[in-house]
Structure 1
């Protein structure tokens, strides 16, 4: 006799059964608009219209060799080379014009004038020729009237340079008369030059003591700052060394 097997008793068996309710399917609020748009725009032949194809005639059925390519018909070529009509042949009763004499002597043959051969120079063992005039072996430019003279454009440029220097000296003279500028003495120039050189040496020592690896932004900025200061001081030192006369504003 079969025995009925019951599950083991548990406290969970006394819990009420939970009713699982499914959530409604998501539907977009724009769904009706899209359906209406789909129905209104997707019509047959809406944009292009019906196909304009001629209805085939029963007489124009597919014939043999109709799809093979055919060469165009050869047109007759025009053999006339002249664009205008030539004059007609003179009649037998017509006479040619008379008393047409030429200065050319038919008895004595004309002697041709010999062509003057150009002088060339051979500069390679393979026979490469070059005109002697353009080879540089003939004194061509030495015989010119303008040889050894200053060109006109350089003369104009020198005049402009002298004019600008005169105007600048005139301006400096006016400024010095007004008391706005004064000229540095030789002792002051040397003192300023020594001071600039000392500062430049100190900056070089600071730059040489920088680390090789620039791994931080502070070190990179410090290096860029020192390079800019060294460049400015080098230009100032070159200015004081190159010019002996220096004017400064009061």
Structure 2
């Protein structure tokens, strides 16, 4: 329902309006309030005081006397004075010259022996930091301890096995080549022929390399891309052939 508002000089403002009393809801009170109040009384309220603390007032008879806080020494008795001059426990007799000295007691003679003995050699150490951190040289890994091993200098077993396999494969290849030569199916290239073939392979590689260097940097078409790949494959094959001819001095080719 909307309230009609009249101007201040309106006649309707003289009519007495009824007062509308709004009833407020009851104030919210937590159900844990008694527990909180009890806890506060048991902890904080118990330690709260008003004014100086109530302590026991000292009696007038117990006033502070002179020298009452100084430490009290024990009184010297007659027995303690006499104990300086008399001893009830007798000292042990002086040992004879033939008696062995007890173990663990250092005498003057033992000190002379240790002083004249050969000094111990210091253990070699290694300083590995600028702040002086050091460690034993034997454990630092700088000493060649491996040369003292039992099998030092011997060829490992896996290398011996690999060498044996290579030797066997070379023997089988030599036997195969010998059989083919006996049958007349293979021909041995001389050094001049092998060198001529090697020179021809290198010239072909130079031609392909010169053509490869002249290619465009941008391969924007499929033909350029395929042409570049064909040149790379051909150059790689020539490099393998050149390496093969330079590695093996003896070359056999079929008679066909």
TM-score interval, smaller chain: 0.3 to 0.5
Q: Which has the higher helix share?
A: 2
Give TM-score scaled by structure 1 length.
0.47
Give TM-score scaled by structure 2 length.
0.46
The structure whose Rg is larger is 2
